[in-house]
Amino acid sequence: MENKNINPVSGVKQIIAIASGKGGVGKSTTSVNIAFALNNLGKKVGLLDADVYGPSIPKMVGLSGKPDTSKDGKKIIPKEKFGIQTMSIGFLIDEDTPMIWRGPMVMSAVKQLLYEVEWKEIDILVLDLPPGTGDTQLTLAQQVPISGSVIVSTPQDIALLDVKKGINMFHKVDIPVYGIIENMSYFICPNCSEKSEIFANGGAKATAEEYNIDFLGEIPINSKIREYADKGEILVNKNEKNEFKNLYTDIARKLILKLEENISIKSPEIKFVD
Ligand code: ADP
């Protein structure tokens, strides 16, 4: 890790942070499907829901209840689904209790979720960050040993402005941006198969080009993706043929390559937006 002051996370080899400029773009849905796709590709995967403002991962992976603690009482044991070790603040707080999180509280909660959990032999920990690119996310990125990051965005302009802020944020703390994923990229009508670009299309690709970072793929808007997330079932683990499985698996494969190369794709020509 470049920053020598950051402590490694016991039991975890590498961390990929999944970020977004704002909430509701499908960051958690993407994190879940990528985590399971990485697992299907033979990696030992952990999934940490650091979105303390709205922890949705327990519901999306169909896990609930309080986690166990280790025999010495010092660490929390992550919950498992298909071999993926999962941890979320959602396991620890009451779903109906409104939580008001201020920056320092978010930091200490996320650090506890990382360092006080008994992760076992994890190759890749998928870290679903809180939405946004403010001070909280910046401090987090500075204090956690992240190998690389991925930014999820919808294709329209406003969301893309936030992407640019996200890219700048990771560059400030010297974390490579492995690429951008465009979610809700297009819609294929189930009746007539016509493709509609509801939120426009291609914006994320253009931004990736502009910043000289990789475009990792586009995921359509589809009710199946939402339905599986709502049911707590894992879309990429379904035997039935579905195009989404291939899309998420392709992205997961690219991320494995990035981690193996461990190359910084930061461009010297990067332009900063204020
Ligand atoms: P975020 O983590 O960015 O706040 P979520 O992953 O919670 O966003 O997704 C917000 C909502 O959009 C959820 O109801 C989810 O099921 C839905 N969703 C996400 N991606 C897609 C997609 N590609 N197609 C259809 N629905 C999606």
Q: Which domain holds residue 205?
A: 12-266
Q: Which of 18, 20, 29, 186 to mutate to test the pocket of ligand 1 (most atoms within 8 A of CB)?
A: 29
Q: Is the dihedral of CA 230, 157, 22, 3 positive or negative?
A: positive
Residue 229 lies in a domain: yes
Residue 7 lies in a domain: no
Residue 4 lies in a domain: no
What is the CATH number for 167? 3.40.50.300
Residue 3 lies in a domain: no
Answer whether 117 contacts ligand 1 (Cβ < 6 A): no
Whether the Cβ atoms of residue 138 and residue 173 lie closer than 8 Å to each other: yes
Answer whether 169 contacts ligand 1 (Cβ < 6 A): no
Whether the Cβ atoms of residue 236 and residue 40 lie closer than 8 Å to each other: yes
Whether the Cβ atoms of residue 9 and residue 75 lie closer than 8 Å to each other: no
Distances (CA, A) of 177 to 140, 143, 195, 216, 255: 15, 17, 30, 11, 11
- The contacts of residue 40 (CB under 8 Å, 6+ apart) are 236, 237, 249, 252
Q: Give the pair of three-digit tokens for residue 86.
A: 């999962």
Q: State pLDDT tens for residues 143-166.
A: 999 999 999 999 887 778 888 999
Q: State pLDDT tens for residues 174-211.
A: 999 999 999 998 888 888 888 887 776 778 888 899 99
Report CA dihedral (17, 21, 22, 27) to the nearest 10 degrees.
-40
Cα(185)–Cα(170) distance, integer angstroms: 24
Residue 63 lies in a domain: yes
Residue 6 lies in a domain: no
**Nearest atom within ligand 1 for CA of residue 32:** 6
Task: Give the total number of structural domains in the chain.
Answer: 1
Answer whether 137 contacts ligand 1 (Cβ < 6 A): no
| Per-residue model confidence (pLDDT) at position 98 | 66
Answer whether 60 contacts ligand 1 (Cβ < 6 A): no
Its pTM stands at 0.91
**Nearest atom within ligand 1 for CA of residue 223:** 25
Residue 2 lies in a domain: no
176: left (phi over 0), alpha (psi -120 to 50) or beta: beta
Residue 183 lies in a domain: yes
Q: What is the DSSP letter of 200?
A: B
Is pLDDT at 273 greater than 70 in this prediction? no
Q: State pLDDT tens for residues 11-70.
A: 999 999 999 998 999 999 999 999 999 999 999 999 999 988 889 999 999 999 999 999
Residue nearest to atom 17 of ligand 1 (CA): 226
Q: Give the pair of three-digit tokens for residue 129.
A: 């960050």
Cite the DSSP H helix spans in the chain. Answer: 27-40, 57-61, 103-115, 135-143, 157-172, 203-210, 223-231, 243-261
Q: Give the pair of three-digit tokens for residue 12.
A: 């975890």
Cα(20)–Cα(237) distance, integer angstroms: 25
Residue nearest to atom 23 of ligand 1 (CA): 221
Answer whether 225 contacts ligand 1 (Cβ < 6 A): yes
Ligand 1 centre from 57 Cα, in Å? 11
Residue type, 86: T
Percent of the chain clearing pLDDT 90 (strictly above): 61
